[in-house]
Amino acid sequence: MEIIIADTYEGMSELAATMIERQLLRKPNSVLGLATGSTPIGTYQALVRKYKEEGLDFSKIVTFNLDEYLDLSPSHDQSYHYFMDQHLFNKINVEPRNIHVPYGHAEDVEQFCSWYEEEIRQAGGVDIQLLGIGGDGHIAFNEPGSSLGSRTRLKTLTKQTIDDNARFFTNPEDVPRFAITMGVGTILEAREIIMVANGKKKAEIVAEAIEGPITAQVSASALQMHPEVTVILDAEAGSRLKRADYYKWIFEEKKRLIPRLIGKVT
Ligand code: F6R
């Protein structure tokens, strides 16, 4: 696991976008796993800028989103379909037929989840997965207690997640209680994973996930078992890491050794 502590949210976002850009330059038909939430908005802005100003090509990519609220239609302004259209899909040249976001109105949720897993397999698996982390340590909507081998399924959200998400809804009663989410096992099959986190509110849980024990109580801790994970933090989110100095030192050494890998991002 590589931990990079950027100074700012913008630095974190730029670095995550640069890693995705590198993946697309290596393999233009990459399968991208995508997250919603406030954290990756800057990453998507940086990708849109790379598309508009540098001609980064998204025409061959295939995307799979991590999750979607149950019973929110794709046109609902708090649905993850809507979020992705607003922040990324409508602003780049991705083919609409290559976009996959779990469907919150699926009639047979179980069947839908098996279909989603099969679609990921048919696409050749996820090449690079972007993740955020919830205040309770969830990745996607794998709340505490989710099996580390779990697959795409319906999940009941915790009170903490519902409260965290209330800021996006006018009426607290409208915050969905259920979501369709990729499982921890599904996520761990991605070839490469980038997790981004920013702000003081995430500092404690980020430290638990990275430096604490692997436990189903903090689903992000399962990333410790994956061979290709990069965690990109801003200074606040990295402020509770015991080995922060070591991670920074590794990053500086790497920059010195392989400047081309890091590019202009510091
Ligand atoms: C969203 C997702 C969630 C978020 C997490 C953090 O697709 O999978 O796990 O990444 O809830 O949300 P923010 O970024 O809003 O703090």
Establish whether 143 is a catalytic residue: yes
Residue 226 annotated among the catalytic residues of the structure:
no
Pocket around ligand 1 at a 6 A CB cut-off: 35-39, 66-67, 132-134, 138-140
**Cβ–Cβ under 8 Å, residues 146 and 217:** no
Q: pTM of the entire structure?
A: 0.95
How would you classify residue 23: left for phi > 0, otherwise alpha for psi between -120 and 50, otherwise beta? alpha
Ligand 1 centroid – CA 24 distance (Å) = 23
Nearest CA to ligand 1 atom 6: 134
Q: How confident is the model at residue 266 (pLDDT cuts 50, 70, 90)?
A: very low
Q: Which of 81, 87, 100, 138 is catalytic?
A: 138
Q: Looking at ligand 1, which atom is closest to the CA of residue 181?
A: 8
> What was the pLDDT predicted at 263?
52
In the chain, where the domains are located: 2-260
Active site residue 71: no
- pLDDT at 265 (0 to 100): 45
Answer yes or no: are the C-beta atoms of 78 and 69 closer than 8 Å: yes
CA distance 237 to 206: 7
Torsion sign (Cα): 149, 101, 195, 208: negative
* pLDDT tens digits, one per residue of 96-146: 999 999 999 999 999 999 999 999 999 999 999 999 999 999 999 999 999
In this structure, the residue with its CA closest to atom 2 of ligand 1 is: 140
Name the residue of 80, 126, 133 to mutate for ligand 1: max ligand atoms within 8 A of Cβ.
133
Residue 136 · residue 158 · CB < 8 Å = yes
What percent of the chain lies above the pLDDT cut of 90? 88
Contact by Cβ (8 Å): 207, 243: no
Q: What is the pLDDT of residues 142-170, one digit of tens each?
A: 999 999 999 999 999 999 999 988 888 88
Could you tell me the fold of the domain covering 2-260? Rossmann fold (3.40.50)
- What is the pLDDT averaged over residues 76-89? 96
Which residue is catalytic, options 67, 127, 208, 234?
67
Q: Which atom of ligand 1 is nearest to the CA of 131?
A: 10
